[in-house]
Structure formats: structure tokens, C-alpha cells
Amino acid sequence: MATMIKIELWLYGPLARYGGPASQGSHARLDMELPAGSTLRDLVAQLELPLEEKGITFINRQLSDMPGLAADLERELADGDRVAIFHTKSMWPFQYRHEAATSRELQQAMDRRQVGLRHSYD
């Protein structure tokens, strides 16, 4: 069993500063190694990224969190995962404006708070 996993992390907007030398100003891309069994909470803590700045989050192109829900913090990361975290002030990413797949954890959090997603305004 592997003791470490590798993930690809993207930080967008003001969160790019948590990428250190990888920061391009508007975004940062990092290849990270974490202990097997690490959660998204562990990743955020390692980056010293304040939870109040964590907004829209995708794991493997699946919407896993929205600002204020903290739906994905206990999600265990797997080797090869691609994680994208946007700042709370970042806009909804244009690539995902229509029919974004949502994680089970996010859907449960939205159900508990009786909120939903609107992809278009007709």
C-alpha cells in the first residue's frame, strides 16, 4: 500500500498566493505529495489557507464545494486527483456553467441547507 499520494492542485484568484513560487498572479499550479489518507481539510491546512477564503472547489472536474458549505473537507484524496480551489470572490468558472456534476457530499450539504444551483437564469 502506498504511503504517499500525488495530486495536482490549482489555486485561483487571490488564493494563488498560497502557491508560493508557483503563483502566476491569477492562478497557481502545484504538484503535491500528501500522506495516503489525507483529506481536503489536511490539504487546506498544509497550505495554511484560511477556510473563509475557500470558495468553489472541484475535485476531478466534479463540483465538490460552494462558499459557506464546507461540504468536501472530510473527503479523502486519492493518488492522481486534480483539485481546483477558487477564492470566495472568484466568479463561477465559465467551463462549468452548464450541468456541472456535483459530488454526493455537496448535494447532501445543499439538501440540508435547502439551497440549490442555478446554471442559467431564464
Q: Which helix (H) or strand (E) holds 45?
A: helix 40-47
In this predicted structure, what is the pLDDT of residue 57? 94
61-84 pLDDT, tens digit per residue, is 898 998 888 999 999 999 999 999
> What confidence tens digit (pLDDT) does each residue in 90-113 have?
776 655 555 677 778 877 877 776
Could you tell me the CATH number of the domain that includes residue 8?
3.10.20.30
Domain carrying residue 94: 4-113
Model-level pTM greater than 0.85? no
Please, which pLDDT band fits residue 58 given cuts at 50, 70 and 90?
Answer: very high
Cα separation, 115 vs 53, in Å, equals 20
Count structural domains, the chain: 1
